[in-house]
Amino acid sequence: MTEALLVGTDLHKMYGTTPALRGSSLTVRAGEIVAVMGSSGSGKSTLLHCLAGIVRPDDGTVVYAGRLISSMTDVERSALRRRDFGFVFQFGQLVPELTCVENVALPLRLDGVRRKEAERRSREWLDRLEVGDVAGKLPGQISGGQGQRVAVARALVTEPKVVFADEPTGALDSLNGEKVMQLLGQAARDTGAAVVLVTHEPRVAAYADREVVVRDGASLDLERVA
């Protein structure tokens, strides 16, 4: 069995008096796609944010590649997010002033890759996601489905070990949603990236290797790896 890459254990998080997580655990192995399911407000996004080191849990631990994320400095944590993790959100969150190819190149540029090389790699990714034709357009000039494919290209261009996708198809019609999931799933398998996929849609979760359900801030992960 592939070794555990990312392990969240007994995570708790309160927002004021609202409990968002109440003892949630999740193990992600290298290269697997895990769907995090559950009703609205159950704590799925909070779990994703804790696993990705964006939100610090009040209690519990997150271990990535054998390192406790909570014991890292802010600088180490942001370097980890930039180099080892990729993110796709519900509304692409592309930078409106940058062209699509510049958006995809951004994580590489932030990591010191020269513009020409960064844009060459970005164009390859746009082609893989079948949106090479929008490279020179601004996000405001393309459709929602194209925008999500550009966002997936941006998440994968650094060849991350884990892609966190929070309702990546939530703003798309079902045809476009299926296409984005197909392309995201294929790209992840090609590069060996694990995917943590938050969704409430069973059709989207069907692209995952397994499902974990979050209910009232507690998740049941039936396949914990010691």
Ligand X SMILES: Nc1ncnc2c1ncn2[C@@H]1O[C@H](COP(=O)(O)OP(=O)(O)OP(=O)(O)O)[C@@H](O)[C@H]1O
> Would you tell me which residues interact with ligand X (CB under 6 A)?
15, 18, 20, 38, 40-46, 200
Considering the complex, what minimum distance in angstroms separates the CB of residue 167 from ligand X?
A: 7
Considering the complex, what minimum distance in angstroms separates the CB of residue 105 from ligand X?
A: 30
Considering the complex, what minimum distance in angstroms separates the CB of residue 55 from ligand X?
A: 8
Q: Based on CB atoms, which residue is closest to ligand X, 20 or 33? A: 20
Q: Based on CB atoms, which residue is closest to ligand X, 11 or 100? A: 11
Q: Based on CB atoms, which residue is closest to ligand X, 132 or 170? A: 170
- 3-class secondary structure for the chain? CCCEEEEEEEEEEEECCEEEEEEEEEEEECCCEEEEECCCCCCHHHHHHHHCCCCCCCEEEEEECCEEHHHCCHHHHHHHHHHCEEEECCCCCCCCCCCHHHHHHHHHHHCCCCHHHHHHHHHHHHHHCCCHHHCCCCHHHCCHHHHHHHHHHHHHCCCCCEEEEECCCCCCCHHHHHHHHHHHHHHHHHHCCEEEEECCCHHHHCCCCEEEEEECCEEECCCCCC
Q: Based on CB atoms, which residue is closest to ligand X, 159 or 201? A: 201
Considering the complex, what minimum distance in angstroms separates the CB of residue 120 from ligand X?
A: 36
